[in-house]
Amino acid sequence: MAVDSPELKTLPAEDSHLVTYPRFLWECFKISFDGSPLFYAWMTGLTAIALVGVNAWANQMAEGMVLTNMTDHVSWGLYIANFTFGVGLAAGAVMMVIPAYLYDDRDMHEVVIVGELLAIAAIFVCLAFVIVDMGRPDRLWHMIPGLGRFHWPMSMLTWDVIVLNGYLLINLHITGYMIYSRFVGKPLNRKWYIPFVFVSVVWAISIHTVTAFLYTGLGSRPFWNDAIIAPRFIASAFVTGPAFLIVALHAIRELMRLAIPDGAIDTLTSILRVTVWINLFLLASEVFTQFYTGGTHAASAHYLYLGLDGKSGLVPWIWTAIALNLCAAVLLVLPATRAVRGWVVAACVFTFVGVWIEKGMGMVVPGFVPSTMHELVEYTPSLTEWKLTAGIWAMGIGIFTVSVKIAGHVLTGRSGLGSRRIS
């Protein structure tokens, strides 16, 4: 064997994943730390916000959850609100996967990975929110099946752990497989990702359904103990997912200079045009049922929309949300605005914020007000809670930015071993 021949020495090794995979990771690492001044500024900003969050969390761990404004009456607050919203965002990403794979939309197929990467980033955000909400994150291992005591299938929270982590793994696999295959220049083997894509569609629905069941299963809280919560969650997920993705695709096209087909954005806009109205319709059904029946059962809804016994902390929030969602819904159908990019983007931002309020604070907090014994204790998040919330979202946006950047580089052939091989 000609040991000193460089070709013979490196060729077989290059085929081995043991060599190419670390190289792939190294390349990803390099891409994450290399970019334009704008990219540096963006990532530095996000990192700074994330660090403020990390610091707030460290303080919260040291002092206890007193640093939040939660109480025994309102025992879940901004964290769980954001968690719930984040699950919707993760599930909403499937609105790219369905057109791409179920309807064979070519344009969507080209950019579908952006949706899958959003799902990953959103799940990281959700997991972070759950962890910061825990009084004892050091005991997280008590939840690991086998090691701890996993109260499955009784506890809905264990189901949520399964579906969220499952969804994360499925999407990590799909996107990782695609990017890595492209990196080494191998053609995709459908067997290795198509089944997972289909599973991910069903799974996306499941994560938000199970998250809704966390609430609807509690008979003690009439505001949540309602069959409409799960459908509402799904409908609003299909609002936030497309809304975020439309804005993200525009940003990717403008700032990362990647080709984004108009068809993909148009399809997402068409979806959003319908889902914002469905979301509003479900809201209206809920409001009617609550208010027409009245009685103690409707106390939470009263508190949320009108205020109760002089307490009205959530009233401005929820009406802002409704106004934002209505504006977006109208902007998306009016002939004068629905085809104008600026208006569509504005509609996306409006409805994104609208759903964030409605499904976050607007869904979680009224479940506790009035409490199970009809006491009216209000809740406004503390500075610690806001810092942590900003930090976690900054982390999520950072993960999303970097992963899109890596995918863009590799899938457009700017990085990879493939080109070298062909030459």
Partner 1 sequence: MTEVTRRATVAGLGATLGAVAFAKAMEPLRHFTEDLSLDQFLQRHYRELSPEDLERVLRRIEEDTLRERGAHVSVADDRPIPGVQFGYALNLSVCNGCRKCAEACHHENNHDRSTNQSYIRVFEMEQGSLDFEHAATHYDHAVPAPGKYYMPVQCLQCDDAPCVAVCPVEATWKEEDGIVVIDYDWCIGCRYCEAACPYHARRFNWSEPEIEAEEINPDQGYLSNRVRPKGVVEKCHFCLHRTRRGRLPACAEACPTGARVFGNLLDPDSPIRWVLDNKRVFVLKEELGTRPRFFYFFD
Residues binding partner 1 (CB under 8 A): 33-34, 40, 44, 47, 51-52, 54-55, 58-59, 61-66, 68, 70-73, 75-76, 130, 133-140, 142-143, 148-151, 154-158, 161, 214, 217-221, 296, 299, 367-368, 370-375
Report how far residue 112's alpha carbon sits from residue 95's, in angstroms, rounded to the nearest whole number: 9
> Which residue number, 262 or 375, has a Cβ lying nearer to partner 1?
375
The minimum distance between CB 142 and partner 1, in angstroms, equals 4
The minimum distance between CB 51 and partner 1, in angstroms, equals 5
> Which residue number, 33 or 281, has a Cβ lying nearer to partner 1?
33
User: What is the widest separation between alpha-carbon atoms in the chain?
Assistant: 89
The minimum distance between CB 152 and partner 1, in angstroms, equals 8
> Which residue number, 137 or 316, has a Cβ lying nearer to partner 1?
137
For tokens 């504006």, name the residue: 327
> Which residue number, 318 or 388, has a Cβ lying nearer to partner 1?
388
The minimum distance between CB 255 and partner 1, in angstroms, equals 19
Distances (CA, A) of 189 to 114, 194, 240, 323, 412: 20, 9, 32, 47, 19
Report how far residue 59's alpha carbon sits from residue 391's, in angstroms, rounded to the nearest whole number: 14
CB atoms near residue 11 (< 10 Å): 10
> Which residue number, 5 or 380, has a Cβ lying nearer to partner 1?
380
The minimum distance between CB 154 and partner 1, in angstroms, equals 5
The minimum distance between CB 324 and partner 1, in angstroms, equals 28
> Which residue number, 196 or 213, has a Cβ lying nearer to partner 1?
213
The minimum distance between CB 341 and partner 1, in angstroms, equals 34
> Which residue number, 73 or 173, has a Cβ lying nearer to partner 1?
73
